Amino acid sequence: MAELFTSTTIATIIASLILFLVPISCSSPFITDGSRDSPIPQSDIDLLEFPLNLEYFEAEFFLYGSMGRGLDNFAPNLTMGGPKPLGAKKANLDPYTRDVIKQFAWQEVGHLRFDIFSHLWHGI
């Protein structure tokens, strides 16, 4: 019988738990338009920030896992000068799994591009 959880599954579960347990303390200028006098209530801004931070986390996770490099290398315009991940490295995956994870990574980069540029376009 195959293992119930692979090391990749366990790493994903642990990373997801950490993400949900760590409070998010900074506000994105893309959502607040850089001002604290935004007509959008802070509670709504926080609700918009969480999925955006999750997209960043997923993109970095899958990029580093499949290619050993993150957003700073593939889409520096999306990082906005933020800190690099600590302890991220390329996973030891078979070629098929690496390709699947790489496709997840590009999908997450696409989500970030859409989220950020749609917020800029609509002035949110």
Q: At 95, which helix (H) or strand (E)?
A: helix 95-122
pLDDT of res. 79: 80
- Residue 31 covered by a domain: no
- Residue 100 covered by a domain: yes
Tens-digit pLDDT profile for residues 48-79: 788 888 888 899 999 999 999 988 888 888 88
Range of the domain at 108: 39-122
Rounded to whole angstroms, the Cα distance separating 67 from 98 reads: 8
Read off the pLDDT band of 23 (50, 70, 90). very low
- Residue 4 covered by a domain: no
- Residue 29 covered by a domain: no
- Residue 99 covered by a domain: yes
- Residue 104 covered by a domain: yes
Read off the pLDDT band of 25 (50, 70, 90). very low
Overall number of domains in the chain: 1
- Residue 73 covered by a domain: yes
- Residue 24 covered by a domain: no
Q: What is the mean pLDDT of the chain?
A: 76
Tens-digit pLDDT profile for residues 93-117: 999 999 999 999 999 999 888 877 7
Query: Which is more confident, 65 or 27?
Result: 65
Cα distances (angstroms) measured from residue 11 to each of 17, 47, 72: 10, 26, 22
CB 30 within 8 A of CB 116: yes
pLDDT of res. 107: 92
% of the chain at pLDDT higher than 90: 21
